[in-house]
Amino acid sequence: MNPASDLVNKLWRLCALLRKDGITYQQYVTELTYLLFLKMASEQKDEGRIPEQYRWRAITAANEAEVLQRYRQALVDLGNPDKVSDRSVVAIFQNATTVVREPATLRKLIDAIDGLHWFSDERDAFGDAYEGLLQKMAEETKRGAGQYFTPRVLIDVMVNLMQPQPGEVIQDPAAGTGGFLIAADRHMRDATDDYFALSPAQQKFQLGQAIRGIENVPDTFRLLLMNLHLHKIDPDHLDLGDTLSPKGSGTQFKNAGLILTNPPFGPAGGPPTRDDLTITDRVSSYQLPFVEHVIRALRLGGRAAVVVPDNVLFDEGRGKALRQRLMSWCNLHTILRLPTGIFYAQGVKTNVLFFTRADDEAPTKDATEAVWIYDMRSGAPAYGKTNPIRPDDFSEFVKAFGDDPLGRANRTDTGEEGRFRRFTRDEIAARGENLDIHWLKATSDEAEDGLETPEDIAAAIEGHLKLALEEIGALVTDLGGEANASELAEAAE
């Protein structure tokens, strides 16, 4: 068995110690975040940033009568910038509290973690094990899990096709737990002998400035910091904030060479407040404003791969205006129609947009000459927890996409019986700028008929209801009824 997988399974079984007290899966993983940070610092001889009384051996040496009190005090003090000078430590432990109620339970967690073997002949397993825990959490927490976790196989496909390069700024404006950023960093490390093939100046940029992300949920931001810390990525350019707000970091995160993201879908509870989002400034949902952010945040010639729901492809009003801007300023060269069920929110129909910002600030003609669409959805099996999507499922698309991250490889239109088609800009305009193009027999509903577990079926129903409320809210907004759209957004939460 893979050493990291073995660790994940053992750590996940420890969840039973806390689940009986009504602890959620995310609370459990957050608790492990604190303990694993202290354990990792001890194993890697990197405890200089931690006050001596709160280091791993000091916690493990405490007797049962005092271990819980010492641990609670450690969480308070490690998140206090007056007591700890290291910013990354303070950020991970900011406002940290424990959900452990009994000293005996904490002792069992500590002893179990202390007894695990964290190293193989090739590498330490802290980072891989933590990512595995995050994936387990997403699998077990269907409600809302898609907001912060993207299936690893899809991340790897998007990253490998976009070919991140050392020296460019790589951004995720909805970073979640950092899957895209870590995969991009790993891709570049593998190509440069862990950055040792780069000059000292290039190494400094890669280790301190290349990776940038924004996350709006404090608890998820903590998991993001820990995940990147375990993968040796500097957290200085990770911000807790709202990408769509002027007080967030969205307006500052400009000139990205590559953006990889799966932004949240659905009602946002209010329109974005950034002045530069001129097209989507009155849209009370996440996906359209995030797409406009990506367009504006790319440097000239920069590229992006963005996961979006179907309505981005066909919404009228501001949705249509956004697609016109996208195809004017960028070369939208590829759309991948994803199968249903690959996200933990069943019933949500999604796509990946691959596009490149034009080399000119204000192109005199549309940068998009044609859009290639690959349909992975029609005729696809019923994916879900019992049948997760695998790398081989993407092999035909990867081959069709080609080896050019800008979408300029030689491609073949497979015709009406095939999965890969080319549509010219004029053909799209004749369709009223509607990019929701499919030609094979639609079988997504039949695929959902194959769902087996009650959880998958309930999640599929929930996903359809949320999308229906969202589309009604978008219509109301276009008609000028912002207050009513806001009420619908709240109802969908």
Beta bridge partners of 282: none
What pLDDT sits at residue 477? 55
The length of the chain in residues reads 493
Q: What's the rounded Cα separation, in Å, for the pair 39 and 23?
A: 22
Instruction: Check: CB of residue 292 under 8 Å from CB of residue 277.
Output: yes
pLDDT at 361: 80
* Centroid of chain to Cα 490: 23
Cα separations (Å) of 307 from 171, 208, 245, 297, 432?
14, 27, 21, 16, 22
Residue 44: half-sphere exposure toward Cβ, Cα within 13 Å = 19
Contact indicator for 242, 248 with CB cutoff of 8 Å: yes
Sequence-ordered list of residues with C-beta below 8 angstroms from that of 269, at least 6 positions apart, any chain: 284, 486, 489, 490, 493
- Token output for 80: 């206090």
Contacts of 228 (CB under 8 A, 6+ apart): 178, 181, 182, 211, 234, 235, 238
pLDDT at 137: 81
> Angle at the Cα of 180 (from 179 to 184), degrees rounded to 5?
120
Q: What is the pLDDT of residue 146?
A: 36
Q: What is the per-residue pLDDT for 476?
A: 61
Q: What burial class does residue 260 get, using C-beta atoms within 10 Å of its C-beta: 0-12 exposed, 13-18 middle, 19+ buried?
A: buried
As a whole number of angstroms, the distance between CA 436 and CA 335 comes to 10
Using alpha carbons only, give the angle 317, 318, 321 rounded to the nearest 5 degrees.
95
Neighbours of 493 (CB within 10 A): 10
DSSP string, 392-450: GGGHHHHHHH-S-TTS-S------TTSSEEEEEHHHHHHTTT------SPP-HHHHHHT
The domain locations on the chain are 3-134, 142-477
- Compute the distance between CA of residue 232 and CA of residue 8 in angstroms, rounded to an integer: 20
Q: 336: part of which helix (H) or strand (E)? A: strand 330-337
Query: Would you state the pLDDT for residue 81?
Result: 94
**Can you tell me which residue has the tokens 């691959």?**
354
pTM: 0.85
Among 3.40.50.150, 3.40.50.300, 3.40.309.10, 3.90.600.10, what is the CATH number of 142-477?
3.40.50.150
pLDDT in tens, the chain (493 residues): 455 677 888 888 877 777 777 788 888 888 988 998 999 889 888 899 999 999 999 999 999 889 999 999 999 999 999 999 988 899 999 999 999 988 988 998 899 888 887 765 444 567 878 888 888 887 776 444 334 478 889 999 999 999 999 999 999 999 988 999 999 999 999 999 999 999 999 999 999 899 999 999 888 899 899 888 888 888 778 999 899 988 765 667 889 999 999 998 877 777 888 889 999 988 888 899 999 999 999 999 999 999 999 999 999 999 999 999 999 999 999 999 999 878 755 567 899 999 999 998 877 789 999 999 999 999 988 787 778 889 999 999 999 999 999 999 999 999 999 999 999 999 999 999 999 999 997 654 444 555 555 555 565 565 556 556 655 655 565 555 544 444 444 444 4
CB 243 within 8 A of CB 214: yes
Beta bridge partners of 334: 354, 372
The CATH number assigned to the domain with range 3-134 reads 1.20.1260.30
Interatomic CA distance for residues 428 and 97, integer angstroms: 53
Domains 3-134 and 142-477 share a fold: no
Task: Give 333-393 as a 3 state SS string.
Answer: EEEEECCCCCCCCCCCCEEEEEEEECCCCCCCCCCCCEEEEEECCCCCCCCECCECCCHHH
Alpha-carbon gap, residue 45 to 382, rounded angstroms: 47
Tokens of 217: 């949920």
d(Cα 170, Cα 255) in Å, to the nearest integer? 9
User: What is the Cα–Cα distance from 266 to 309, expressed in whole angstroms?
Assistant: 9
Structure tokens at 461: 């129903």
As a whole number of Å, the end-to-end CA separation of the chain is: 40
Cross-strand partners of 94? none
Cα(248)–Cα(243) distance, integer angstroms: 5
Q: Quick count: other Cβ atoms within 10 Å of Cβ 258?
A: 24
